[in-house]
Structure 1
Amino acid sequence: MTEASDYVVVGAGLAGAATAWQLASRGHQVTLLERDIPAAHDGSSHGSARIFRYAYPDPFYTQAVLDSKVLWDRLALDAGTELITPFGAVDHGSRRQPDLLAKVLADVGIDHELLSAADARKRWPQIAFDTEVLWHPAAGVIDAETAVNAMVSLAVRKGARLLTGWHLESIERDGTGYRLFSSTGETFDAGHVVVSAGGWLPELLGSLSLPAGFLAALPAITVRQEQAFHFRYRDHDGGAAPGAGPWPTFIHKAADIQAYGLPGGRDAGFAGQKVAEYNGGRLIPSAAGQTGRVDPANRAQVVDYVRRCLPGLDPEPYAETTCLFTNTPNEDFLIDRVDNLTVVSPCSGHGAKFAPLIGRWAADLATGSGNVPDRFRSASSTAFTT
C-alpha cells in the first residue's frame, strides 16, 4: 500500500529538519523521509560543533544571519534547550580583510572591535596573529545534532511524520503530484516534494523528474570529503597563559591556507579545539563515495599550521574525523523550485548558521506563500517560473 502526504521533505539534516518544522508549524500535512536517522553521522549535520558568526564581506549574508538568529532564539525557546553557545569569533589573515568585515558589521550595528595584531596577541596569546584582527563577541558554536533533533521533535509535535531508513531512489511525476521510490521498493505519494539530500544530491538530480531545462540551468554542485582534527588545549581553561581569554572561533585566511577552528564540544570530549582547512578535502562524486579515511597529507598540513599559528594547542591531534562539504561555484545556496518540486542545498560549508531561515525560505517557496532571494534561484529564473 502506498502512503501519501501533502508535503514530503527528503533528508533530515539541518535544512530538511528546518523545512519540516516550518511546514508543520503552518498546519501542513508533512512527512519527513530520512535515509538513516536525523543528523546521521555520514551526513553534513552531525555532531556538536558548527560556527555561528556574523562576519561576511557580503552584507546580504550578514543581514541573513541577523534574520536567522531571531528564528534560532525562537527554536531554542520552543525546544527548551541551548543551541548556540557564545564564544565570540576572530577573523584575521592577509586575505580575510578584517577592516572590510568591520565595516559590514558597523553598518548593521553588530558589536565588534578591530584590533592590531599586537593587541590581539595580548588578549589571546594562544593564537599567533600577524595581521589586524576583527573580534565580534556575539558569535558562537551551534550544536548541530541537537538542533536537528529539536526541529524534528517540534515538527512531529505539530503533526509531522518521520520515517527513518527510507533511502530515496527516484521520483516520478504522477498527475499533479509525485511518486517517490525507495531503494527497497517502497513507494510514497506526495503533492509537493522538497529534496534536501545534502551530499547525495548530485547523484539524485537525474532521477527527480526535473525538466531538462531546469536541470541544465542548476549551478554545478561538487562534494568534498573534508577532514577536521581536534587538538588539546595546553591548559585546562582553554587558554595558553594565565589570564588569557577563552578560545574563540576563528577564520584565518593566510597566503598559504584558509583555516578555521572552534571549540570542539562533546565531539571530542570538550578537551580541545577543532581545526580544519577550508575545502582541503578530496572531491568525490557524491556522499556515497566517502570513505571516512583522513588524507595523511592534509593531516600533516593542518598539524604544521597548528604548530606555527596556534601555540596554545598541543600540535598532535588527539581525534580526527571526516565530513561533507557540498559546494556551488560561488558559495551561494541553492533553493529553487519547478512545478511542485523544490530543491534545497545550503552549500559550501557555511549553511549551518542559516538553518532555520533556510527552512522558512524553503517552506515559503514550496507552499507558494513567499519567495527566496533571486541569487538562490538561478535555474527557475533562466528556464522556468513557478
Structure 2
Amino acid sequence: MASQNELFDALVIGAGIQGCFTAYHLAKHRKKVLLLEQFFLPHSRGSSHGQSRIIRRAYPEDFYTRMMEECYHIWAQLEHEAGTQLHRQTGLLLLAMKENPEFQTIQTTLSSQGVEHQYLPSEELKQRFPNIRLARGEVGLLDKSGGVLYADKALRVLQDIIRQLGGRVQDGEKVIEIKPGLPVMVQTTSRSYQAKSLIITAGPWTNQLLHPLGIQLPLQTLRINVCYWREKVPGCYGVSQAFPCFLGLDLSLAAHHVYGLPTGEYPGLMKVCYHHGNKADPEERDCPSAFSDSQDVQILCRFVRDHLPDLEPTPAIMERCMYTNTPDKHFILDRHPKYDNIVIGAGFSGHGFKLSPVVGKILYELSMKLTPSYDLTPFRISRFSGLGKAHL
C-alpha cells in the first residue's frame, strides 16, 4: 500500500495494454512506478480485454511497419520472460481488388521494408484457401509474419512482471482529480498519490481526465460488436488447416474493413468483426443494442454468407469492445501542451494492441524526458490544430 507522502517516478493511469507496457518499460528501467486502474482487474470495460488480437506488419504507413519490427522483438522477449506463449503465427491475408490504392500501398511498404510477403492472384488464392469465396477480381496479399496475440494472457503477464520488478498495480481506484505541478498530485476514490511524471492511457475515459487540465482531444468513442461464427464443419477455418487471419479492404457491402481470426478462442467458432462501430459513452457500453448496431451485424452476416460459406451466417456469440478513434486513425503520443510532466497516450483506433510494446517504450521515454526512439510527427497533438477540436 502506497503511503500518502510516497513519491513515484511515474504514475500511469489506465491498466489496458498501453498502460501496462508503459509501466513495464518504467519498471524495467528501475523507475518507481504506480499503475492505477479504475476497475477491478481483470475487467472487460475498455479496449484491451478478450482472448485475441491480430498482429501484422502489413500497414500502408511505413512508420507503423518500422515500429512493428521492434514490437515483434519485445513480444518475443516478454514470452521468454514469462515462459508463456503469447503469439501464434498464422499469416495475415489481405483481400482486395488488385487496383485498390490501400492494397497497392501496403504491398509497396512491405517490399520497401523487406517484409516477407506473397502476392496471390485470384486463381492461386482460390487454390490456397478454397473455403474463402472470392468476389470477382479479388486478389490476396499474404503477410507471412502475421498472426494472433493472446490478449488476456498478455495483460496478466505484464501485470505480474511489473509487480515482480517492484512496480505497483493498484486496481479498483477511480481518479477523481489531477493537480498539475512538480510533483503532480492524483486523487482517487481511495487516497492521493504524487509522482514526478504522469502518463494518461485511459482509453475512452481520456477526455474526462483531460478536461480539468484545459485540453480536449478530438477523440470519438465507439462501441464495437465482437462476433463469433460457428463452423458448419469443425476445424475448416482453424489453425490445423493453416487458415490465416484476414483483412478485407474494399468490400462493396461495407464502408469499413472486415477482419477475422482462425478458430481458437471458442471451440468451433471463428471471430469475424467489422472494424467500425457506433458512438457510445464508455459508461453506457453495455446498454441494449441500438438499431445502428444491428446494421453493423447485418453487414457482417452478408460478408460471412458471401465470403465464408462454411460458417453459419448468423453470429453464435456477440461481445462488446470500445474503440477510441482519432480523425486520422493515428495515435496520440505526446506531452500535455502546458504541463510537460504529463504525457498522453490515446486514440489507438482499434489497431493499437499489436504496437503496444513500442507505444509503451515511447511513453516511458517522453515521461523521462528522453529522446524518443521514433519520429513522433504523426502522433503529435498539434496535428489537430486546424480542426478546431483540440483546444486549450
TM-score, normalization: structure 2? 0.88
Tell me which residue corresponds to 1:150. Answer: 157
Choose from 300, 321, 324 the match for 2:322.
Answer: 324
Tell me which residue corresponds to 1:265. Answer: 264
Instruction: Report if aligned partners of 2:231, 2:312 keep a CA contact under 8 Å in 1.
Output: yes
Matches within 5 A, 1:353-372: 353-371=354-372, 372=374
What SS is found at the alignment partner of 2:133? coil
* Displacement after TM superposition at 1:300 (Å): 2.2
Matches within 5 A, 1:1-386: 2-4=4-6, 5-38=8-41, 40-94=43-97, 95=100, 97-130=102-135, 131-173=138-180, 175-182=181-188, 184=189, 186-207=191-212, 209=213, 212=214, 215=215, 218=217, 220-239=218-237, 245-253=241-249, 254-257=251-254, 258-263=257-262, 265-266=264-265, 269-279=266-276, 281-284=277-280, 286-291=281-286, 293-294=288-289, 295-338=293-336, 339-371=340-372, 372=374, 373-379=376-382
Calculate the aligned-residue CA RMSD, in Å. Answer: 2.3
Return the alpha-carbon distance in structure 2 between the equivalents of residues 201 and 170 of structure 1.
Answer: 13
What SS is found at the alignment partner of 2:110? helix
- The aligned amino acid for 1:352 is F
In structure 1, the gaps of 5 or more residues are none
* Displacement after TM superposition at 1:162 (Å): 0.9
* Displacement after TM superposition at 1:154 (Å): 1.1
Return the alpha-carbon distance in structure 1 between the equivalents of residues 146 and 241 of structure 2.
Answer: 15
Return the alpha-carbon distance in structure 2 between the equivalents of residues 13 and 278 of structure 1.
Answer: 20
Return the alpha-carbon distance in structure 1 between the equivalents of residues 253 and 294 of structure 2.
Answer: 18
What SS is found at the alignment partner of 2:70? helix
Is 246-255 or 75-84 further displaced after alignment? 246-255
Return the alpha-carbon distance in structure 1 between the equivalents of residues 47 and 240 of structure 2.
Answer: 33
Return the alpha-carbon distance in structure 2 between the equivalents of residues 17 and 29 of structure 1.
Answer: 14
Return the alpha-carbon distance in structure 2 between the equivalents of residues 287 and 264 of structure 1.
Answer: 29
* Displacement after TM superposition at 1:6 (Å): 2.2
- Segments ≥4 residues shifted beyond 4 Å: none
TM-score, normalization: structure 1? 0.89
In structure 2, the gaps of 5 or more residues are 386-392
* 1:322-348 deviation digits (Å, cap 9, x = unpaired): 100100011111111132111111511
Return the alpha-carbon distance in structure 1 between the equivalents of residues 384 and 269 of structure 2.
Answer: 45
What SS is found at the alignment partner of 1:23? helix
Return the alpha-carbon distance in structure 1 between the equivalents of residues 106 and 383 of structure 2.
Answer: 32
TM-aligned CA distance change 1:230 to 1:326, over 3 Å: same
Instruction: Report if aligned partners of 2:96, 2:248 keep a CA contact under 8 Å in 1.
Output: yes
> What is the aligned residue count?
368
* 1:228-278 deviation digits (Å, cap 9, x = unpaired): 2101223222349xx994321111121331211113533xx2322111111
* Displacement after TM superposition at 1:297 (Å): 2.6
- The aligned amino acid for 2:286 is T
What SS is found at the alignment partner of 1:326? strand
- The aligned amino acid for 1:132 is V
- The aligned amino acid for 1:233 is E
Return the alpha-carbon distance in structure 1 between the equivalents of residues 383 and 327 of structure 2.
Answer: 18
- The aligned amino acid for 1:21 is Y
Percent identity over paired residues: 27
What SS is found at the alignment partner of 1:67? helix
- The aligned amino acid for 2:272 is V
* 1:281-324 deviation digits (Å, cap 9, x = unpaired): 2112x422312544323222211221111112121211111100
Return the alpha-carbon distance in structure 1 between the equivalents of residues 284 and 160 of structure 2.
Answer: 30
- The aligned amino acid for 1:2 is Q
Instruction: Report if aligned partners of 2:37, 2:174 keep a CA contact under 8 Å in 1.
Output: yes
Return the alpha-carbon distance in structure 1 between the equivalents of residues 88 and 116 of structure 2.
Answer: 17
What SS is found at the alignment partner of 2:119? strand
What SS is found at the alignment partner of 2:186? strand
* Displacement after TM superposition at 1:186 (Å): 2.4
TM-aligned CA distance change 1:308 to 1:351, over 3 Å: same
- The aligned amino acid for 2:176 is E
TM-aligned CA distance change 1:336 to 1:39, over 3 Å: farther
- The aligned amino acid for 2:133 is A
* 1:140-187 deviation digits (Å, cap 9, x = unpaired): 0111111111111111111101111011122012x41211122x3522
Return the alpha-carbon distance in structure 1 between the equivalents of residues 172 and 267 of structure 2.
Answer: 31
* Displacement after TM superposition at 1:378 (Å): 2.7
